[in-house]
Amino acid sequence: MASPSDQKAAIIDGKAIAHTIRSEIASEVLLLSQKYSKVPGLAVVIVGDRKDSQSYVKMKRKACAEVGIKSFDVNLPEQVPEAELISKVHELNAHADVHGILVQLPLPKHINEEKILSEISLEKDVDGFHPLNIGKLAMKGRNPLFVPCTPKGCLELLSRSGISVKGKNAVVVGRSNIVGLPVSLLLLKADATVTIVHSHTNNPESIVREADIIIAAAGQAMMIKGSWIKPGAVVIDVGTNSIDDPSKKSGYRLVGDVDYKEACQVAGWITPVPGGVGPMTVAMLLQNTLDGAKRVLEQQAHHISFD
């Protein structure tokens, strides 16, 4: 029997898996354009000039172009009145060529995020954050129109790596509306036994150590040590934290919420940061946009054939 220190975790290559998914999407987009002479359209709305938001948005727009999804760019100034942003969302709701609307978060302080997100048409909510979509995700036997991209990407990484979730102990570290909460609901839908660890949890380490599957989404650099991980467990690291690194040209490097080096010695499977969950988030956004477009175009064709 090999000692734990000899064990090296299998790497779940999110970049490669996302590449495969993007190729599948590109083929489907081509089929749609041949069948309906229309392609899926994604509107990406950005308010202000936060550097991180801008680079995310740039990445999303580039990804759209690569798979043949039409990108509608809406760039608004930092000081835009809330009412103006809402009317922009309404305009996109009514736009026939837009099948998905994404409002890049966070929004400036003077804008009520909840209000904006609930104004997005349910049929175009490709981020999956509309309260009705989250509500359906939480209910047994109901299915949301869209599932949030990062959680969906986490589950897709598991299924495409041949890792079954059913009956497994899954521990989600973090309870944000964007990742922790929806990913725990998705795991529950997939028949895992789910525990959520958060900032008020007593002795988180002992809970995490019971997990067959760990989803780390706490936003704390390298918080989960090798000693927290059960040998052979699957580790999906959603965290992206920058830490100082003088040896890098930029002066920093990106790390996850898991101590990668330590975890690799113990875990059975692990996602790297970067190159794990990140590329999957964008791939799932494209998938959601494609699904939204297919739903609309098929319904329209159905109506036409019955008119």
- Separation CA 67–CA 223 (nearest Å): 36
Catalytic-residue membership of 287 = no
Catalytic-residue membership of 220 = no
Write down the catalytic residue from 60, 88, 136, 152.
60
Handedness of CA 178, 184, 189, 192 (dihedral sign): positive
Catalytic-residue membership of 140 = no
Write down the catalytic residue from 70, 88, 127, 237.
127
- Separation CA 250–CA 244 (nearest Å): 9
Write down the catalytic residue from 70, 104, 152, 257.
104
Length of the chain: 307
Active site residues: 60, 104, 127
